[in-house]
Amino acid sequence: MLPVVLGLFFLAACAAPAAMTPRKKAPPSFQVDEGDAELADAVTAAALAWSYALGVQIRVGPSGDVPVFWVADLDVADPECAPPPDRPTGAWGGACTPGIGTPDVRILVNAKAPGRERLFMWVLHEMGHVLAGRGGHLGDSGLPADQEGAVMRRYNTGETDGFPHKSDVLYVCSSPTGIECPGPLGRLSIPEAERPLP
CATH number for the domain spanning 110: value is 3.40.390.10
| Threshold 0.85, pTM exceeds | no
In a domain, 65, yes or no: yes
For residue 79, what are the CA distances in angstroms to 6, 38, 72, 122, 184? 50, 26, 14, 19, 33
| C-alpha closest to that of 94 among 32, 10, 155 | 155
Domain contains 134 = yes
Residue at 150 is within a domain: yes
- 42 CB-contact burial (10 Å; exposed 0-12 / middle 13-18 / buried 19+): buried
The one-letter amino acid code at 180 reads E
For residue range 169-192, what is the model confidence (pLDDT) as tens digits? 999 999 999 999 988 888 887 787
Residue 8 domain flag: no
Q: Are 108 and 121 in contact, with CB atoms under 8 Å apart?
A: no
Number of domains the chain contains:
1
Residue 155's nearest CA partner among 194, 179, 125 is 125
In this prediction, residue 93 carries a pLDDT of: 84
Domain extent for 103: 30-184
- Percent composition of the chain: helix, strand, coil (DSSP 3-state, to 5): 40, 10, 55
Say whether pLDDT at 159 is over 70.
no
Higher-pLDDT residue of 117, 27: 27
3-state secondary structure of 61: strand
What mean pLDDT value characterizes the chain?
83
Of the two residues 10 and 22, the one the predictor is more confident about is: 22
- Going from the C-alpha of 89 to that of each of 83, 93, 152, 191, 192, the distances in angstroms are 11, 12, 21, 46, 46
Structural domain contains residue 141:
yes
Q: What is the pLDDT of residues 17-72, one digit of tens each?
A: 334 345 578 999 999 999 999 999 999 999 999 999 999 999 999 999 999 999 99
